Structure 1
């Protein structure tokens, strides 16, 4: 699972840097919030999950580990896309609001599941 997290993290890092370079080149920083979420939630949190999995190995074949991984990997791009649409003026906040709310809650759930898995791993 650590390898999947690591590769995904660097994919988000590349995406975030490309968006940041685009904003700098165009001097249009309207997607600053989207950029921040890509870099922090996409790159940093996903990278931390990879490191945590390496330092405190969890049973990556367990149902909880699979739910945690896929919930984070499905909700994060949905959240990022919703922010991109909203801050790009492509969709008004009321339209993407529910999408952002649900995806944020799923990301939170995956964070909580990671904490539970770490607690279990530390008890062993």
Structure 2
């Protein structure tokens, strides 16, 4: 799982940096919020999860397998993609806030749920180790 998160982290880093380069080249910084969220929840949190799996979870009594791990991964991925797409549509003025707001709320809670499930795994690993 650590490698899966590492690969997704750097995929988000590439996406966020491409958006940042586009904004710099076009002198249009309207997607700054989108860029920041891609870099923060896409790259930084995914990279942090990779470290958690590598340093604490893969070594501890099989905590790296099972439904909790899978649910945590997909909650984070779907939530991050949902936030990135929703913010891109909102700040690109493709969709009104009233339309995208419920979508962003669900995606944000999905990311939040991923953090909660990571905490559960870390607490379980601490008890096992």
Normalised-by-shorter TM-score class:
over 0.9
| CA distance in structure 2 between the partners assigned to 1:73 and 1:7 by the alignment | 12
Query: What runs of 5+ residues in structure 2 fail to find an aligned partner?
Result: none
User: How many correspondences in the alignment?
Assistant: 124
2:94 to 84, 90, 94: 90
> Quick check: 1:60–1:66 contact (8 Å CA) kept in 2?
no
Query: What runs of 5+ residues in structure 1 fail to find an aligned partner?
Result: none
CA deviations on 1:87-115 (whole Å, 9 max, x unpaired) are: 00000110000000001011101100001
1:81 to 77, 80, 85: 85
| CA distance in structure 1 between the partners assigned to 2:9 and 2:23 by the alignment | 21
TM-score, normalised via structure 1 length: 0.97
| CA distance in structure 2 between the partners assigned to 1:60 and 1:85 by the alignment | 35
> Quick check: 2:79–2:107 contact (8 Å CA) kept in 1?
yes
TM-score, normalised via structure 2 length: 0.94
What's 1:119 paired with? 123
CA deviations on 1:50-106 (whole Å, 9 max, x unpaired) are: 001111025221211110001111111011000000000000110000000001011
* 1:31-50 equivalences in 2 (<5 Å): 31-50=31-50
> Structure 1 residue runs of 4+, over 6 Å off?
none
